[in-house]
Amino acid sequence: MLQTRRISCNPFSCEYQRVRLRCAVASRSSQGTPSGPRRPRRKGLFITFEGIEGSGKSTQAQALAQYLRDKGFEVIETREPGGTPVAEHIREVFLRPTRELRSVDPLVPECEVALILAARSQHVADQLLPALKQGAVIVCDRFSDSTLAYQGFGRGLPLRELRSLTRWAAKGLTPDVTFLFDLPVSQGLRRRLNSTDVNRLDHETVAFHQRVRKGFLSLAQQAPRRIHTIHAARSAQAIAQELITLINPLLEQGLKARRLTVKHS
């Protein structure tokens, strides 16, 4: 008999997120239909970290990558914009502090998108697709959701066009799982502006960052199986533990075969 169990509806609860994650894996492993062609299967796993600045996502991405390495997986840590030599050059142009560019050459939103997509296409072709084909786990700090949140919701460029452009530049690649780090903009900016490497977008208005945050939350609502919202105004240890709790069922279900090297203690 099919048994059903009530789960918590609080999107920040671990149980709620674990059940959604299992659904996401199940839907991924049943891609294609008996009558239609199956999409070519990649072997690896593509995990992305998203969120507003100062949310702590980069630190947590590194910690999760280390956890997965310790479990014996081949892990590639990368970021966007960036990840290859050419894309890292583009990142420098994209993020150069405003005061260097403002008087001469402020970037218009369309130019921002063009730079981001140029970097992404190189990153996907040179780094992400080959690594996934080899069966690696990729932990990527930002990807297409950032383009929709920053250039779409933040700058006001049309989302439909952006979606189609990002799909094109990424050759259709979408993350298997995304962790969205959410916290109030004021807290994020305070953390961020205290750091040493402040970039061009950090100087945008609070209203801009509010739109970006709202955008991320709206994307999470639209893709609840893939995007897991992480309540980021908590201790780093609590967040790291939550990520491990969320990622473990995924590893158990789909990744055993992909373990490339086994570490011995």
Site residues (vs ligand ATM, CB under 6 A): 53, 79-81, 95, 116, 141-142, 146-147, 150-151, 199, 201-202
User: Distance from CA of residue 35 to its chain's centroid?
Assistant: 33
Contact yes or no for 212/261 (Cβ under 8 A): no
199 phi, psi to nearest 5 deg: -110, 180
CB-nearer residue toward ligand ATM: 44 or 51: 51
Closest CB 59 distance from ligand ATM, rounded Å = 11
Q: Are 69 and 118 in contact (CB under 8 A)?
A: no
Q: Which is nearer to ligand ATM, 73 or 143 (CB)?
A: 143
Residue with Cβ nearer ligand ATM (79 or 211): 79
- CB 199 to ligand ATM: min, Å: 6
Q: Within a 10 A sphere around the Cβ of 22, how many other Cβ atoms?
A: 15
Token digits for 16?
């709620």
Q: CB of 161: closest distance to ligand ATM in angstroms?
A: 14
Q: Give the residue with the Cβ less far from ligand ATM, 21 or 47.
A: 47
Q: Which of 44, 101, 112, 29 is nearest to 78 (CA)?
A: 44
- Where do runs of H (alpha helix) occur along the chain? 14-29, 57-70, 85-95, 98-101, 109-123, 129-133, 144-146, 159-169, 185-193, 206-222, 236-250
What tokens appear for 119 in the block? 């970097």
Shortest distance, position 237 Cβ to ligand ATM, whole Å = 21
CB of 179 to ligand ATM, least distance (A): 13
Q: Between 74 and 204, name the residue whose CB sits nearer to ligand ATM.
A: 204
Q: H-helix or E-strand containing 181?
A: strand 177-182
Between 5 and 99, whose beta carbon lies closer to ligand ATM? Answer: 99
Least separation in angstroms between residue 203's CB and ligand ATM is 9
**Residue 258: exposure state from Cβ atoms within 10 A (0-12, 13-18, ≥19):** middle
Q: Which is nearer to ligand ATM, 19 or 198 (CB)?
A: 198
Give the DSSP per-residue string, 69-120.
Answer: HHTT--EEEEESS-SSHHHHHHHHHHHS-HHHHTTT-PPPHHHHHHHHHHHH
| Smallest distance, ligand ATM to C-beta of residue 239, A | 16
Least distance from C-beta 45 to ligand ATM, angstroms? 20
Q: Which is closer to ligand ATM, CB of 20 or CB of 79?
A: 79
